Amino acid sequence: MKKGKILSIVLSGILVLGLSGCGAKQTATTASNSDDKKVIKIGATPVPHKEILEQVKPILQKEGYDLQIVEFTDYVTPNTSLDEGELDANFFQHVPYLSKFNEEKKTKLDYTAKVHIEPMGVYSKKITKLDQIKEGAEIAIPNDPTNGARALRLLEKEGLIKLKAGELISKQDITENKKNIKVTEMEAPQLPRVLGDVEAAVINTNYAIEAGLNPLKDAIAIESKDSPYANVLAVKQDDKNKPYIQALSKALNSPEVKKFIEEKYKGSIIPAF
């Protein structure tokens, strides 16, 4: 074979490999870009989560993202919608609740940013101090395992009952109940509505604020500010490192959001970053 022909074949091979390499690089770049999206759909409960997210919208807009907020009024649908791909993220829950949900529903949800803490409080229309609780009085608490346990621990801290050791305790784990208090479990959003029917209720701050209650002024007992129940941005495990989730996480932990939480809620909700 002539040298010129051999050289031509070699050069042709190099060119093909070069083009293939460019094609591979282009495919990799396209795959990387496909991990990003410009419209982010997030689920949230109204107060304070949706209010906080409204402050995030303009921050993300500057980076080319459109944040669309879908409002929910319960603690289950936002997670099922996220798991089924109807949402890109949600913002309404704390880590123990998310962990319990994953365990029970066999989902693989995770979180990126801790945003704020909502101290749980005891409210009443019939008494002004917990030592006024009568024999056999009824106290309502949330019926989901994590918030129910949290409510019971608050009642224990205030000296009304004693409980077994453990994280996810229930009313069956009450070991001492000197006043024979009746603990009634119900859906968390319903608790403010039954205040006139029970002696007291332990209410999540978001539902208290929605009902026009001020945790700092109206609660007759409240969790300490070192509560571990920080509300988080929840996402699918596989999406944690995607650019749009990273941008959303950064915006939720921005100085602008911290300032809004401090000025808007004046201590009833506390930044967790």
pLDDT for res 225 = 73
Query: Residue 121 in contact with residue 219, Cβ under 8 Å?
Result: yes
In this predicted structure, the answer to whether residue 10 has a pLDDT above a threshold of 60 is: no
What would the pLDDT profile of 223-272 be if each residue is shown by its tens digit?
987 788 999 999 999 999 999 999 999 999 999 999 999 999 999 999 99
Strand pairing category for 162-163 and 174-176: antiparallel
pLDDT for res 228 = 83
39-119+228-271 CATH pick, 3.40.190.10, 3.40.50.300, 3.40.50.1000, 3.30.70.1400: 3.40.190.10
Residues in the chain: 273
For range 120-144, the mean pLDDT: 97
pLDDT for res 15 = 35
Sign of CA dihedral 126, 131, 133, 134: negative
CATH superfamily of the domain spanning 121-222:
Periplasmic binding protein-like II (3.40.190.10)
Q: Which residues contact 32 (CB under 8 A, 6 or more apart)?
A: none
What would the pLDDT profile of 43-58 be if each residue is shown by its tens digit?
999 999 999 999 999 9
Domain layout of the chain by residue ranges: 39-119+228-271, 121-222
For range 176-185, the mean pLDDT: 98
- Domains 39-119+228-271 and 121-222 agree in fold: yes
**pTM for the full model?**
0.80
pLDDT, mean over the chain = 89
pLDDT for res 34 = 59
Sign of CA dihedral 232, 234, 239, 244: negative
pLDDT for res 38 = 97
Q: Which residue type does 226 have?
A: D
Tell me the percentage of the chain whose pLDDT exceeds 70: 88
In this predicted structure, the answer to whether residue 29 has a pLDDT above a threshold of 80 is: no
